[in-house]
Structure 1
Amino acid sequence: MRILKLVCSFILLLTFETYAQHQSAIPQDIEKTIDSLFNPWKQPNSPGVSFAIIKDGKVISKKNYGLSDIENKTPITSQTRFNLGQSSAHYTAYALLKLVTEGKLSLGDDVRKHIKELQSIKQVITVKDLLYGASGIYDYQALKSICGWDYTENFSQKDILRLVALQKKLAFNPGTDYSEADINFALLAELIGNVSGKSFKNYMEEDIFKPIGMTNTFIRTNLTTMHQNVAHSYRSEDDKTILNNSGNTVLGINNMYSSIDDLILWEYHINSASGNDQKIVQQMNGIIKLNDGRTNSTSSGELTLGQLYGHKERGLFSTYILGSGSGHDSSIFKFPTQNYTAIALSNNGDGYNGYLGVIAAHNILEEHFTEPETTNFNTLKTKSLSKKQLQKFEGHYWDQLGELSRDIKVINDTLRYVRTNGNTNALIPLENNKFQMKVQFDDKIYIEFPEDETDVMEFQYLGAEPIRFEKYILKAYNTQEISNLFGGVYINHEYNIMYSAMADNNKLKLSNVKNGDISFTPITSILFSGDSWFLRSIEFTKDKNQKINGFYVKNNAIRNLWFEKVVVN
């Protein structure tokens, strides 16, 4: 039996190797067009990209440009390893569902019995809640910064568990809403380790990657441990490319390292799966739904259990996942019906590299698209509205969870959507209260002002659940008013964080020993917008005597972190 298993394994690995190495030809003109996409990556002495396109089970394009190590002039190859960042969640989800399929875990299990640090939370949090992003646990990214962790400091799984153990109140009841919180998958990594009886690292490498032949893929748990053939990470600063030394050892949602050849093997594995593996893949392709049936539908698309977002690109259904980690960026972009997958890995720290796969698809799959690359707004059936009718929509609008302020203005008889940086888009009237935003490409963005709700604007992108903006009257305070109303010391008792508030040139300033000063501009009489990414807004509350008694940090990742004003006797 052992010999038979070894023979089968050898045949399987041989098949994988053939798949990874075989490259099918594509028309020369298309190849030339695809190659031109990489012109920005062909600069000498610069970071680069590793890229592959898989079509109908064959690698039709595989390219490597740039350097993995600028100092030593080491070129990127198809074996160069990159941090997949948030794309790691795709593989973590597979591992979790493997344990579920094998009967070692249930999606309905209460995770508090597996992770002791969650036991201070009263509500039941299921495995499904973590997988769906519906747990209500505060995201560690913003929380650690509010608590004063320097971004250059290593942040580990142990640090995450320390933060989780301090949380007493959830952002919402589990299963009733979604939040953009990486904490969910960091906790799933702990869960997988605890349930499998191995560390998360060992389980992923021994039980997931090795059987597939992904011997070049690993989980990084120590920043000081040296690994061969890992691309150095870089970032641009003052028109110079410099080494990026920041990093963390958070798992499940980060720190999975892989190469383009190994990810090709993965795609083959999930596309030719049988037995239990096929059951796992089928689950991963399912759309996430809340207890009330709502899907996790955002501007990115509808989220699947495999953590890929699904949406339509020029009329064709596509799925994708993006990741950034320690200066590395990854993207996997698919047209499932057309058997097309594009993978891009890079180390320049510039973020989104998925456009390489999308634009390549526009050439390779041109005959399949049902919609043009750009919307012809001249063919829209529009509604004629007078300037007076348009002016009733003018005003300032605030999205609380997204912490965004937008203006709606009539400029030259055209209603326009105005961003804080001054960029505007024309709004084309389709109905009395519904408009389509004029944008490039094929993106369909609708702005609606519900008839049954005054002072509300809804922003809808690609069929996603509308984002709700509420109209507000801009408030201005002078320095003395801010000092009298909001000055003082505020404390959060859960995490023992303290901020001092004072007036500064008609603005509010919050000061903390570790974070320094954060400046806030008044939006409404109690709402302030901040200049820090982790404290972009705070909302004050009043007691029965109309005195300020504290403020909330409210956003998609945290929602209700309360800071109480310290009363000085």
Structure 2
Amino acid sequence: MRILKLACILILLLTLKTYGQHQSVITQDMERTIDSLFNPWKSSGSPGVSFAIIKDGKVISKKNYGFFDIENKKPITSQTRFNLGQSSAHYTAYALLKLEVEGKLSLGDDIRKHIKELQDINQVITVKNLLYGTSGIYDYQVLKSICGWNFTENFSQKDALRLVALQKELAFKPGTDYSEADVNFVLLAELIENVSGKSFKNYMEEDIFKPIGMTNTFIKADLNTMYQNVAHSYRSEDDRTILNNSGNTILGINNMYSSIDDLILWEQHLNNATGNDQKIIQKMDVIIKLNSGRTNSTSSGELTVGQLYGHKERGLFSTYILGSSSGHDSSIFKFPTQNYTAIALSNNGDGYNGYLGVISAHNILAKHFTEPETTNFDSINTKTLSKKQLQQFEGHYWDQLGELSREIKVINDTLRYVRTNGNVNPLIPLSNNKFQMKVQFDDKIYIEFPEDETEVMEFQYLGAEPIRFEKYTPEKYNKEELSDQFNGIYSNKEYAITYKAIADNNKLKLSNVKNGDINFTPITSILFSGDSWFLRSIEFTKDKNQNINGFYVKNNAIRNLWFEKVVLNE
């Protein structure tokens, strides 16, 4: 399925210039070209997609393919409901700002004023910190997995609150940094409930959706409540389509269900809002900044208060939001200046359907783009560097928050960027220390080695704030060396989590009753990379006698979770 989609994209990128160079509305030729994007969903008996394009406030294309219920052969329609996943945050942000505009709360309020379960947190965290993603609260998604929750178990809003209430130390001082932690919007849902005097479900449905006419949109707060016309979720496994039965009752960042027709109403509401609604939307469009004034500039773009990322697509400013939950995927892509919005909802579990809106825009908005679909690397002004000059950059580099290891290596007289999965990209020298990565399409990725920091590599993607990688020398241990230093029992007191570390050949194995075995490979003498998504790295520390006394979990979501060594080597 995924291969077929990529093939469609490649073909379209070569043919889109044929149509729409001077069109402001969709033509039959454009419609046919866009329609070919959906070939993978047209096969008999497959999950499907619901899609719409809004231009200048009018729906110019709307498509539905595939089944929302394969077992009973029920086709997807414009009224079929899908879980929006993380895209739910956009609507939660709107609801919070509505309460603020109405004077029922202030963004400067201490969250402990509104959420009683958080009274024991010993730092001031404001409502604004939650909305901006600058609270420093650990991401519950990672934390619950470390604690042994598995994806087949229901994880509720109250469970998330209990985990947050146990946190004794924040990842950073609120307002000084940013972390993409879903927990912020889980807490905002709780706060909205407490301030509004209604359940989050009732407030969203009665005060947000119903006035707009979105009667087909709901919040699923109970797994046992059944709804009509809801898309089943599926996933691909061994070339088979399998029903995905997992779920949760997390709110604020998940479990908002809607249809393409209702989301069209929402977008039209945003475009035609007046009075307080207009004030809310103006606040939603503000770019998030830290206390220092620094924007949250990531590889996804700059985040707005409305939780859409803004970036340039082929030189044209666009905003977007993506969501994924248990086989359901959602995307909303906009080109605001051109009044273009594309919405895609699907249930095949592929994880990304946003290209449908972007590639359609390449067709409909063809005359507006200022940059080509692919970069002509032959036209770039390059700097000639000797092999010796290139070799000074060779080595292994580590990104602590992203938990990524990369290698820079000279191969056939060309400096190359090597990923752990084996993918290799040439680096084109632009100066003595700055390179552009050679990639497909129009992505602009730059690698720079700062002149004043010889052990650092900076990775910059799409104009985002550079990601720092620090150079390291790979460490190798044998079984005896690992056993002598690292074997033992490690415990975190706040969450009562215990892991047992045992040397296994040249790797370290961490075991937990609920999570089983996680294998760790040494990166440096004290830093290890794991094969689990929620424990991708741990960093050990030593006491004054140079004995291992514990380890930290350090990443973008959880930066200082401490496990103390409580039982010596076995």
Q: TM-score, normalised by structure 1?
A: 0.95
In 2, Cα distance between equivalents of 1:478 and 1:151: 35
Name the structure 1 match of 2:53. 53
Name the structure 2 match of 1:516. 516
Query: Does 1:212 find its partner at 2:199?
Result: no
* Letter of the 1:163 counterpart: L
In 1, Cα distance between equivalents of 2:537 and 2:152: 24
Name the structure 2 match of 1:486. 486
Name the structure 1 match of 2:375. 375
* Letter of the 1:180 counterpart: E
Name the structure 2 match of 1:244. 244
Query: Does 1:186 find its partner at 2:186?
Result: yes
Contact 2:425 2:439 in 1 (8 A): yes
Question: Cα distance, 1:25 vs. partner?
Answer: 6.5
In 2, Cα distance between equivalents of 1:482 and 1:412: 37
SS at match of 1:384: coil
Question: Cα distance, 1:567 vs. partner?
Answer: 4.3
In 2, Cα distance between equivalents of 1:76 and 1:46: 11
Query: Does 1:366 find its partner at 2:366?
Result: yes
Question: Cα distance, 1:116 vs. partner?
Answer: 1.6
Question: Cα distance, 1:201 vs. partner?
Answer: 0.5
In 2, Cα distance between equivalents of 1:303 and 1:480: 48
Deviations 1:194-253 (A, max 9, x none): 001111100000000000000000000111111000000000011100000001100000
Write the mapping of 1:443-462 to structure 2, written as runs, cut at 5 A.
Answer: 443-462=443-462
In 2, Cα distance between equivalents of 1:416 and 1:323: 33
Query: Which ranges in structure 1 are unaligned for 5 or more consecutive residues?
Result: 1-23
Name the structure 1 match of 2:85. 85
* Letter of the 2:528 counterpart: F
Name the structure 2 match of 1:289. 289
SS at match of 1:566: strand
Question: Cα distance, 1:505 vs. partner?
Answer: 1.4
* Letter of the 2:381 counterpart: K
In 2, Cα distance between equivalents of 1:535 and 1:342: 36
Name the structure 2 match of 1:337. 337
SS at match of 1:174: coil
Write the mapping of 1:111-260 to structure 2, written as runs, cut at 5 A.
Answer: 111-260=111-260
SS at match of 1:405: strand
Contact 2:82 2:231 in 1 (8 A): yes
Name the structure 1 match of 2:18. none
SS at match of 1:509: strand
* Letter of the 1:94 counterpart: Y
Name the structure 1 match of 2:21. none
Question: Cα distance, 1:487 vs. partner?
Answer: 0.3
Deviations 1:63-86 (A, max 9, x none): 000000001000000000000000
Query: Does 1:473 find its partner at 2:440?
Result: no
Contact 2:489 2:568 in 1 (8 A): no
In 1, Cα distance between equivalents of 2:339 and 2:113: 41
The list of structure 1 runs, each at least 4 consecutive aligned residues, that deviate by more than 2 angstroms after superposition, is: none
Name the structure 2 match of 1:393. 393
In 2, Cα distance between equivalents of 1:97 and 1:55: 27
In 1, Cα distance between equivalents of 2:112 and 2:136: 14
**Count of residue correspondences:** 546
Name the structure 2 match of 1:8. none
Deviations 1:345-382 (A, max 9, x none): 00001111000000000000000000000011111111
Name the structure 1 match of 2:39. 39
Q: TM-score, normalised by structure 2?
A: 0.95
* Letter of the 1:248 counterpart: N
In 2, Cα distance between equivalents of 1:253 and 1:410: 44
SS at match of 1:37: helix
SS at match of 2:331: strand
Per mean C-alpha deviation after superposition, the further-off stretch among 160-169 and 74-83 is 160-169
Per mean C-alpha deviation after superposition, the further-off stretch among 140-149 and 116-125 is 116-125
Name the structure 1 match of 2:543. 543
Question: Cα distance, 1:296 vs. partner?
Answer: 1.0
SS at match of 2:235: strand
Quote the sequence identity (%). Answer: 86
* Letter of the 2:100 counterpart: V
Contact 2:487 2:568 in 1 (8 A): no
Name the structure 1 match of 2:432. 432
In 2, Cα distance between equivalents of 1:397 and 1:249: 39
In 1, Cα distance between equivalents of 2:152 and 2:391: 48
